[in-house]
A = this chain, B = another copy of it.
Amino acid sequence: MKAIKVGILGLGTVGGGTALVLQRNANEISRRVGRPVHVTMASVRSLDSQRLCDCSQLTLTQDPFEIVNAPDIDIVVELIGGDTVAKDLVLKAIENKKHVVTANKALIALHGNEIFAAAEAKNVSVSYESAVAGGISIIKAIREGLAGNKIELLAGIINGTGNFILTEMRDKGRTFDDVLVEAQELGYAEADPTFDVEGIDAAHKLTILAAIAFGTPLQFDKVYTEGISKLSLIDVGYAEELGYRIKHLGIAKASDDGLELRVHPTLIPEKRLIANVDGVMNAVLVKGDAVGNTMHYGAGAGAEPTASAVVADILDIVRTIDAPTSCRVPHLGFQPAEIKDRPVKTVEQFESAYYLRFDVSDIAGVMSKLSSQFADQNISIEGIAQKEPVAGQDFVSVIFITQRTNEGQLDRAIASIEAMDEVRADAIKIRVEHFN
């Protein structure tokens, strides 16, 4: 069969890694798909940079539009990032009836509905396995491997930078700011770390996972997002003393009255496998009605792990490139006409257990008042821990772990407690999930 020609937009870390993997494993790959797959063009910012791959057989250009318009390119791989030029390039490639592979989570989370509709109109595929959790084939697992299930829950450590910071805080007692500087030096975090540490990157990925899990449109603006930048070492330590670890999770839950889409720090019992995923590694827990809990673990970033997913997408496209569109897995896992909106809950409607820390000046006098506020809102308390007063401080900390409750009710109890003279505003509230 005729060779497939691939053009890569952006020959940086992931682009260079993708070309390298396609070159190094060329023999293995053609043994799998029955035809050669060659990278023949790539766009670059500068023509004389060092590359990860061999460029001797590649046409390099500084104009990525040259690639999306090249008549002999079958598959365009978009690795430029961002959602402006990348979007124009992807839409142009689709218009030219080229299949597209992209690692761009922002692009898919924000413009996926439009991009997929354009691709469906032209009978081409836009694949995005590498956009979520790097080398873990989680898109394939949900869209295909678990296709017989109603997905009830997914929860993922889907930002390696954040997980690295939380792991260092717990293991070495270092502060958030301290670890962030190291993460930047190691290249795990950007100079502007906002996307990683404020949860926006994780929210992009959760948007994608939720759409394919539930068959809903992509709806980034409905994801509740809380980062890790305000997380205190004190609470990381208290959580550990209570048998929990704090992970920054993207959580999507379906129930009859709607979906919860949320990204936030979460206490997880230390015995759970996902609580033991450390450093820059990613993992996604998926619960289906038939399969129960599954977990998918691997590197979430880096040149070759991400390239692994990009190449898998390329090979899926190669396999069905001459076949009718109906043989391909639909973009969001469900037939386009079957993508259906479902109500998304607001924060006040969330159901969770909670870790609460109050700093109080007069522990003896205040405990019964606190307890009565919880009782007034029908909130059951799972456990209470009172910390020893720290020398030089005129307050002590009390920790409550609640049973599962409604967040609106909880917030009313917290507001009443914060209004007390003996209690310092503001309470610390971190959600707790048990995943059993």
A binding-site residues for B, Cβ under 8 Å: 1, 17, 21-22, 24-25, 28-29, 31-34, 129, 135-137, 140-141, 144-150, 215, 273, 276-277, 288-299, 302, 304-305, 307-312, 314-316, 319-320, 322-324, 326-330, 333-335, 338
Query: A330 to chain B: which residues have CB within 8 Å?
Result: 32
Which of B22, B28, B137, B298 is A144 in contact with, Cβ under 8 Å?
Answer: B137
Q: Give A323 to B328 CA distance when docked, in angstroms.
A: 10
Q: Are B32 and A147 in contact (CB under 8 A)?
A: yes
Provide the bound-state CA to CA distance between A330 and B140, in Å: 17
A4 to B320, CA, bound (A): 21
Q: Which residue of B lies closest to A215 (CB)?
A: B31
Let me know if B32 and A333 touch, CB within 8 A.
Answer: yes
Query: Is the Cβ of B273 less than 8 Å from the Cβ of A277?
Result: yes
Task: Give the number of copies in the complex.
Answer: 2
A136: B residues at CB distance < 8 A = 294
On whether the beta carbons of B307 and A29 are closer than 8 Å, the reply is: no
Q: By the criterion CB–CB under 8 Å, are A308 and B333 in contact?
A: no
CB of A292 within 8 A of CB of B276, answer no
- Point out the residues of chain B lying under 8 angstroms from A308, CB to CB: 146, 148-149, 288, 290-291
Known: A297-B294, A305-B290, A322-B324. A312 touches B144 (CB 8 A): yes
A32 partner, pick from B22, B293, B320, B334, beta carbons under 8 A: B334
A333 to B298, alpha carbons, bound, how many Å? 21
Q: Given known contacts A32-B334, A34-B326, A290-B304, is B149 in contact with A145 (CB within 8 Å)?
A: no
Contact of A335 among B32, B298, B302 (CB under 8 A): B32
B residues less than 8 Å from A149 (CB atoms):
21, 25, 308
A311 touches B147 (CB 8 A): yes
Instruction: For residue A189, give the distance in angstroms from its CB to the closest CB of chain B.
Output: 20
* Contacts known (A145-B141, A276-B276, A290-B304); A28 close to B150, Cβ less than 8 A: yes
A/B interface sample: 26 pairs, CB < 8 A: A25-B289, A31-B338, A32-B330, A32-B338, A135-B288, A137-B144, A137-B145, A140-B144, A140-B145, A144-B315, A144-B316, A145-B309, A148-B308, A148-B311, A149-B308, A289-B304, A290-B307, A290-B308, A292-B299, A292-B305, A296-B296, A296-B297, A297-B297, A320-B327, A322-B324, A327-B327
Asked, given contacts A315-B148, A316-B144, A335-B34, whether A273 binds B292 with beta carbons under 8 Å apart, the answer is no
List of B residues within 8 angstroms of A304 by Cβ: 289-292
- By the criterion CB–CB under 8 Å, are A298 and B291 in contact? yes
A134 to chain B, nearest CB (A): 8
Docked pose: A21 CA to B147 CA in angstroms: 11
What's the Cα separation between A138 and B288 when bound, in Å? 16
With A148-B29, A291-B299 known to touch, is A326 a contact of B333 (CB < 8 Å)?
A: no
Residues of B within 8 A of A215 (CB): 28, 31-32
Query: Please, which residues of chain B bring their CB within 8 A of the CB of A311?
Result: 147-148, 290
CA distance A276 to B298 in the complex (A): 16
Give the residues in chain B near A137, CB-CB below 8 Å.
140-141, 144-146
Q: Which residue of B lies closest to A1 (CB)?
A: B326
**Which chain B residues border A305 with CB–CB below 8 Å?**
290-292
Q: Which 5 pairs, one residue from A and one from B, show the smallest C-beta to C-beta distance?
A: A137-B145, A148-B311, A294-B298, A135-B291, A31-B338
Closest-CB distance, A152 to chain B (whole angstroms): 12
Contact between chains at A290 and B135 (CB < 8 Å)? yes
